[in-house]
Amino acid sequence: MKVTHVSLRPTEAALTAQRPSLTPELMAASGARYSRNNEGLQAILEKIDPANLDKSVDGIFKMIDYGHQSIADMVPVSMFIDGVSLWLAYHVWTLCPTAGGQESSTRYIEINPGSLLGTEVLGISMEDSAFWRKQMADCFKVYQECYAAWDGLARENPALMRIPEEVQNDDTEKGRKKLERMRRNYAFDRARYYLPSAACTNLMLVMSARGWVGLCQNLLSQPLPEARQLGGQIAEELRLVAPRLLRHATAKPYVEAGLEDYHKHLQELAIGLPDLHLQNSGAGAHPSVPYLQVMAPPGLREGDFTEDLKHHENRYAWIGPQLQRTGVRFGWEAVSFAEIRDLNRHRTGTKYCPFVPRGFYGAVEQIPAGDGAGLKLLRDSVETGRLASRAALERLRQGDPAYVYWTVLGTQVPFEHTTTADKFIYEAELRTGVGAHYKYAGHLREALQLWYARFPKTRGVILEGSAEPE
């Protein structure tokens, strides 16, 4: 694991135009001074000593004595995080929903067995270590076998990929590369459900120092050693850019108590689950079962929503005020972790995802009919993912916080998103169509059917299926 802070430098154009450049804390201090003085930027900049930028911060505004956390919102910080587990990367995004950033994609990059983190980093007990390693090795083996099988199917029968004809018939070098990329994408999309959540990924985030401090507080309060290690490394990098805020970047007793209560809540949910979900015959997948609740503005007329969408030419276009005022809660009883990692990245509202295994999804319905060796391998592989998901459920029932590292990307858990209708529509439009992952599209279409049942006049006005090819 490695965390690296990366600073921004002024562009050549900005230097030529003689625009000022400030350290992150100087930026915050200068902005904060506006709340106590209207002297203007140039007067503030004149207080900066070029030979002592750090001391100049307190000369402009004593941020450490200022009660409002909004000051820390004006300290921009970017960090690159190498070598954390898929699960911890997901958890970081749950804590930083408005951060900008990216993560290595399991839909475009092959993950190898060497990326599996060690048991000592993850907090897996010595008693469980050998069994866990064997189970994760089995999952990686199936991941690699399934990728080869899905890739072979796509090459033998390109129609399975449902790639537009203009892409398949494009014989230019660019077209051939695009087709090859989409073929790999097709195979990765269906094989990735066997990837262990303890495999490594990389991510980068850009957010305010306030966001980083809040992230440190949660990570350092966690019972998981990997999370505490990441929190400590982030705090050390934060020392380079916002040292005045470090006193807040520590474990907090109230966060520790809250996390302990929440883990007990998850344990109780796990104990209350029937074993059927992970021991049934066949695929072992729990039905997704969507639900949607709408809190419309008072006095809404049936046609008001279509009026709000009359200028909605694409998913980024205008949506009217009635939809912006309408509250929406939607979710599914069971969504695979692979999809949750992306559904969780939508910035608006609040996501609720009690991480309690309900089943295992292994893309069984995607397997073509037939009795070939590759098809049999794909069908038989589901048992490996189901066993991993069931082992995670049993560890949670026993109260082990490291149960999350027994899951795989196909492990299903509940997921819910509370937001407003305009954001729900954007997400539904983004996640359906040729360019969308097939399972995202299926889930969002399920939710849209519930929406249409209540507001039928919006069918055809919402741009379902308009996402472009990736």
Give the domain ranges of the chain: 2-106+199-251, 284-361+410-470
Specify the pLDDT at position 66: 46
The answer to whether the 2-106+199-251 and 284-361+410-470 domains have the same CATH topology is yes
For the cut 60, the answer to whether the pLDDT of residue 277 exceeds it is: no
Where does the pLDDT of residue 282 fall: very low under 50, low under 70, confident under 90, or very high at 90 and above? very low
d(CA 404, CA 406): 5
Q: What are residue 367's phi and psi, to 5 degrees?
A: -75, 125
Specify the pLDDT at position 67: 47
Could you please state the CATH topology (level 3) that the domain comprising 2-106+199-251 is classified under: Gyrase A; domain 2 (3.30.1360)
Strand bridging mode 350-352 / 411-420: antiparallel
Query: For residue 77, what is the enclosing H or E element?
Result: strand 76-85
Specify the pLDDT at position 280: 46
Specify the pLDDT at position 61: 67
Q: Which of 69, 73, 89 is nearest to 81 (CA)?
A: 89
Specify the pLDDT at position 275: 65
Specify the pLDDT at position 468: 65
Q: Lowest-pLDDT range, 22-31, 104-113, 234-243, 263-272?
A: 22-31
Q: Which residue has the tokens 């809250």?
A: 258
Considering the domain delimited by 284-361+410-470, tell me its CATH architecture.
2-Layer Sandwich (3.30)
Burial of 371 (0-12, 13-18, 19+ CB in 10 A): exposed
For the cut 80, the answer to whether the pLDDT of residue 163 exceeds it is: no
pLDDT digits (tens, 9 = 90+) for 116-142: 999 999 999 999 999 999 999 999 999
Residues 6 or more apart whose CB falls under 8 angstroms from that of 81 comprise: 1, 2, 3, 89, 92, 202, 203, 204, 205, 230, 234
DSSP-derived letter for residue 118 is: P
Predicted TM-score of the model (pTM) = 0.90
Q: Which of 354, 343, 337 is nearest to 285 (CA)?
A: 337
Name the H helices within 345-460: 373-380, 382-397, 421-430, 438-454
Residues 6 or more apart whose CB falls under 8 angstroms from that of 260 comprise: 223
Q: What is the DSSP string of 4-73?
A: EE------HHHHHTT-----HHHHHHHHHHTTT--S-HHHHHTT--TT-HHHHHHHH--GGG---GGGGG
Q: Lowest-pLDDT range, 39-53, 130-144, 445-459?
A: 39-53
DSSP-derived letter for residue 414 is: E
Summarize the confidence of residues 273-280 as an average pLDDT: 60
For the cut 70, the answer to whether the pLDDT of residue 281 exceeds it is: no
Where does the pLDDT of residue 47 fall: very low under 50, low under 70, confident under 90, or very high at 90 and above? confident
d(CA 21, CA 178): 41
Q: Which of 353, 394, 341 is nearest to 88 (CA)?
A: 341
For the cut 70, the answer to whether the pLDDT of residue 451 exceeds it is: yes
Q: Which residue has the tokens 């004593």?
A: 62
d(CA 281, CA 463): 38
Angle between helices 225-238 and 209-220 (to 10 degrees): 150
Query: For residue 204, what is the enclosing H or E element?
Result: strand 200-208
Angle between helices 421-430 and 438-454 (to 10 degrees): 140
Residues 6 or more apart whose CB falls under 8 angstroms from that of 439 comprise: 189, 336, 338, 339, 361, 363
DSSP-derived letter for residue 420 is: E
Q: Lowest-pLDDT range, 173-187, 209-223, 352-366?
A: 173-187
- The strand pairing partners of 415, in sequence order, are 332
Burial 79-114 (b: 16+ CB within 10 A, else e): bbbeebbbbbbbbbbbebeebebebbebeeeebeee
pLDDT digits (tens, 9 = 90+) for 81-118: 999 999 999 999 999 998 999 999 888 888 999 999 99
